[in-house]
Structure 1
Amino acid sequence: MPNGLFGGMMPVLEKGLDLSVMRHKLIASNIANEETPGYKARDIDFQKELNKVMGKSKISMTGTHSSHFAIGKASSGGIEIQTERGVGDGIDGNTVSLEREMVKMAENKLRHDAAMTLLSRKFEGLKSAIIGGR
């Protein structure tokens, strides 16, 4: 099979799950720092990063394993972490909006759940094929 066992979808689903976990951590960090003076909310462009895996641009990973991401600097493991500037700056320079972060968290959960459902169905189909539909 030229595209692997799942027709090339496995790397996309795997990276989608990795990205949703990374984004969840960033959003949780933003929420935890809601009242930290000068804190700038951080996020990733989920679609842009997923497109890299889908062949629309090349992905370059660093680290000991392709699924390991370190959260910190503006670019991490080939994943561009964006800092939100000027978006709802408070008097103290903090850009975190609890409402915006909660919406992003809900959207991210939907993406994660969708990828998990697709992956689960792929494996259920494989299991059914192996055991003969019993």
Structure 2
Amino acid sequence: MAGDTLFGVHGAALEVRSQRMGLLASNIANASTPGFKARDVDFSTALAAMENNDDGFAGAVKYRVPNQTSMDGNTVELNQEQTAFAENAVQYQTTLSFLKGRIGTITRALKGE
């Protein structure tokens, strides 16, 4: 695909980070839901699958193993989820900033600036 060579791995990385953000937000939202099993994604596996045009995000999602088991069967550890969400948000923003810069460079080149 032309976009793949234009933006490299960053387009796929942005998509994986976006989907991961939704997954982590779901974990946080269900922190008090009895029996809820926290999930996360193996970023490298999901990214490789996205680059190969596979439906790899779903295959890269794994259940999180809690450090401490909850009495109600919920495996969400709120501090861990909030930290992962914040780190992912920063990485998402960094990737987005890179892509914006790349688009700006291409736009200037097309205008002959």
- TM bracket (short chain): 0.7 to 0.9
Distance 1:103 1:86, change over 3 A: closer
Q: In structure 2, what is the Cα distance between the partners aligned to 1:130 and 1:25? A: 35
Q: TM-score, normalised by structure 2?
A: 0.84
Structure 1: gaps spanning 5 or more residues = 63-74
Give a deviation string over 1:2-47, Cα, whole Å, max 9, x none.
Answer: x9577x3625212111111111111111011101111110110112
Structure 2: gaps spanning 5 or more residues = none
For residue 68 of structure 1, what is the aligned residue in structure 2?
none
For residue 110 of structure 2, what is the aligned residue in structure 1?
130
Residue 12 (str. 1) matches residue 6 (str. 2):
no
For residue 94 of structure 2, what is the aligned residue in structure 1?
114
For residue 55 of structure 2, what is the aligned residue in structure 1?
61
Are the counterparts in 1 of residues 39 and 62 from structure 2 also a CA contact under 8 Å? yes
One-letter amino acid of the counterpart of residue 96, structure 1: V
One-letter amino acid of the counterpart of residue 19, structure 1: V
Are the counterparts in 1 of residues 45 and 60 from structure 2 also a CA contact under 8 Å? no
Number of residues of Structure 1 aligned to a counterpart in Structure 2: 113
Percent identical across equivalent pairs? 29
Q: Indicate which of 25, 29, 33 corresponds to 1:28.
A: 25
Q: Tell me the secondary structure at the aligned position of residue 92 of structure 1.
A: coil
Are the counterparts in 2 of residues 11 and 53 from structure 1 also a CA contact under 8 Å? no
One-letter amino acid of the counterpart of residue 47, structure 1: S
Q: Tell me the secondary structure at the aligned position of residue 9 of structure 2.
A: helix
Q: TM-score, normalised by structure 1?
A: 0.72
